Amino acid sequence: MSGSQQPHTERRSRTRETIDNLLAERQELLVSFCRLAGVEPQPEDKPPGAALKEFCQILVDYTAAIHFEVYTRVAEGKERRELVLSIAKESYPRIAEITQRAVDFNDEYADVGDDPPSGSLQEDLSRLGEEMALRFELEDKLFHALLSRG
């Protein structure tokens, strides 16, 4: 491999690793979401408040990760591919809105104790789930562009 190809290959490898890590964290978020929503069974030894707190922590970690791992790279000018820049510019405002909604959800529910309020939780969780599904679609477009050869 020539010297000029090696940095490109290393960047591509780091990008793949970053995206793989984000997708693994997304999977963890989805499992936690499904358990909290009652789609998947909750471990018997975990009180509802602990499950909610755990979900909130994963949610905050995941939503922040793409900003630090991907959008910072774009903002700092480390990404030059037009397709990636175009998708990032198009999707970032909506992703930022959804991030704020996730932060708001966390602020509302992260410290509720062992017995979370059940009244608005399911409705808020449902709305958050819809927002996160849209976010995942936007992220997937960006991930695809980041992994493309163009």
**Residue 4 pLDDT > 60:** no
pLDDT at 7 (0 to 100): 58
- pLDDT one-digit tens code per residue, 48-95: 678 889 999 999 999 999 888 888 888 888 888 999 999 999 999 999
- pLDDT one-digit tens code per residue, 100-139: 999 999 999 888 776 666 668 889 999 999 999 999 999 9
Cα torsion at 42, 43, 46, 50 (round to 10°)? -50
Which tokens hold the place of 73? Answer: 């790279």
Average pLDDT over residues 31-52: 76
Q: Distance (Å, rounded) from C-alpha 81 to C-alpha 110?
A: 39
CA atoms within 13 A of residue 45's CA, in its CB half-sphere: 0
The more confident residue out of 9 and 35 is: 35
Domains of the chain: 5-147 (1.20.120.1370)
